[in-house]
Amino acid sequence: MRKQHYFFLLLFLCSLFQVINAGAQSNIRKHKVAVFAPLYLDSAFTSSGKYKYANTEFPKYINPGLEFFEGVQLALDSLNKEKAPLEIYIYDTRAAKSSLTEQLTKTEKDSIEMILAYCSGNEVRTFADAGLKRNIPVINVNIPNEGGTSGNPYFVLLNPTLRTQCEGIYNHIQKYYSLDQLVVFRKKGTLEDRLKTYFDDFAKNTTDAPLKLKYVDLTENFTEADLSKHLDTIKHTLCIAGSLDENFGKKLAQKLATLKKQKYVASVMGMPTWDGISDFKKPEYKGIDIIYSTPFYNPRTDKLSQQIIEYFNKIMYARPSDMVMRGYETMWKFGKLLLKYKADIASNISYQDFDVFREYDIQPVLDRETMMLDYFENKKLYFLKWQDGILKGVY
């Protein structure tokens, strides 16, 4: 059923004229928003509009962008009920006949006032530069990277950079675990060295007592014995995963869970890449507290989340992904901000209102040498804990 629903949604998009009117009032000026997402319409349909796959077949690579659009469309349905004066322009960043640069040029001709971008890493700078050129906000929905952007007051990152995530982790450990033994288990690598550099920088610049971090390099085939020599059966040890490698993280957590059964007192702090690991609910991870940070936590207990879940259950016999929720909240929040502040939206992009499922804390990021504004970034992080197969928010 879900594949058939997305098939018909693709058909709708393929036949869609580029503009979606969110409001029904024709005599009121409508504010224009461009939504960019990788929809792959040209990969799914022939030039004559024929679907290239069987009606029951749906290629997985189309899912993320289409799910984001599904969330956007649901938000537009809600905005339409309020007769919100918005025009939404949909762009497929994987269109075969027009490049991203050509599409962004068209947004200028269409007098677009704001861009919501579900983009890839190599597209970030192109979107940021387009916003700076036009003096309109560009909201990077998914990529935790500024793409080298600087001096750009129109560019917003919703997914915090690795540095911001590490700063949040450092501050969290300072607040809740500063009296514990702190061991950073890591493997050798460039990214691992970057993580250490971040932690070293925070230690130098903190106004509180710096953390006493002990770094331990592990080989690829590390064992419980390699870990236990740094643990204690009386004093609690917070073991910090000093690598973004998910397989390293899972192996570390599993072996620490085994040691916890041997009376070692420990818990583990993971990296942002742990947000998508569902293996932690398995029995082999039982007994160890597994903590990690994410900017996109939604327990889905609020009324709107329940309504969206019910809609997906009824129509697609499936649960909505996080990208559906992200599409909804992005369209709702920033559409509302545009309607409230109009031409002054860029100056009020940090306004803390119209949040839907989770809070955003959008703050200016300054060049550390010149103290000039580089861009805006969401600084809000949630800390979650896997405990005996159950995931819960802890901060």
| DSSP per-residue letters across 310-360 | HHHHHHHSSPPPHHHHHHHHHHHHHHHHHHHHGGGGGGGTT------SS--
DSSP state of 110: T
> Residue 38 and residue 36: Cα distance in Å, rounded?
7
Are the beta carbons of 166 and 241 closer than 8 angstroms?
no
Q: Are 39 and 62 spatial neighbours (Cβ–Cβ below 8 Å)?
A: yes
Q: How far apart are CA 36 and CA 95, in angstroms?
A: 11
Spans of all domains in the chain? 2-160+300-360, 162-294+383-393
Question: How many CB atoms neighbour CB 10 within 10 A?
Answer: 21
Q: Compute the half-sphere exposure of residue 165: CA atoms within 13 Å on the CB side of its CA.
A: 25
Distance of CA 95 to the CA centre of its chain: 24
Hey, what are 289's tokens?
A: 């507290």
**C-beta separation of 23 from 80 below 8 A:** yes
pLDDT at 61: 81
Choose among 77, 83, 81: nearest CA to 27: 83
Scan for tokens 């072996």, then name that residue. 255
Angle at 227 between CA 226 and CA 231, to 5 degrees: 135
| pLDDT tens string 342-373 | 999 999 999 989 999 999 999 999 998 888 99
Q: What are the per-10-residue average pLDDT scores of the chain (395 residues)? A: 50 51 68 95 64 61 90 95 95 92 95 97 98 97 96 97 97 96 97 97 95 97 97 97 97 97 96 94 95 95 96 87 96 97 94 93 92 96 95 87
Residue 12: what pLDDT? 47
Which residue is listed with tokens 């010149």? 370
Q: Where are the alpha helices (DSSP H) in the chain?
A: 2-15, 41-44, 63-81, 100-109, 124-134, 162-176, 190-205, 224-228, 246-260, 303-316, 322-341
Quick one: residue 17, left, alpha or beta (phi over 0 = left, psi -120 to 50 = alpha)?
Answer: beta
Level-2 CATH architecture, domain 2-160+300-360: 3-Layer(aba) Sandwich (3.40)
State pTM to two decimals.
0.91
* 143/63 Cα distance (integer angstroms): 17
pLDDT at 96: 86
* Whether domain 162-294+383-393 has CATH 2.60.120.10: no
Task: Count CB atoms within 10 A of the CB of residue 90.
Answer: 19
Residue 8: per-residue pLDDT: 45
**16 Rama class: left (phi>0) / alpha (psi -120 to 50) / beta:** beta
**Which pLDDT value is given to residue 309?**
96
Decide if 2-160+300-360 and 162-294+383-393 have a common fold.
yes
CB 89 within 8 A of CB 34: yes
Report phi then psi at 380, rounded to 5: -75, 125
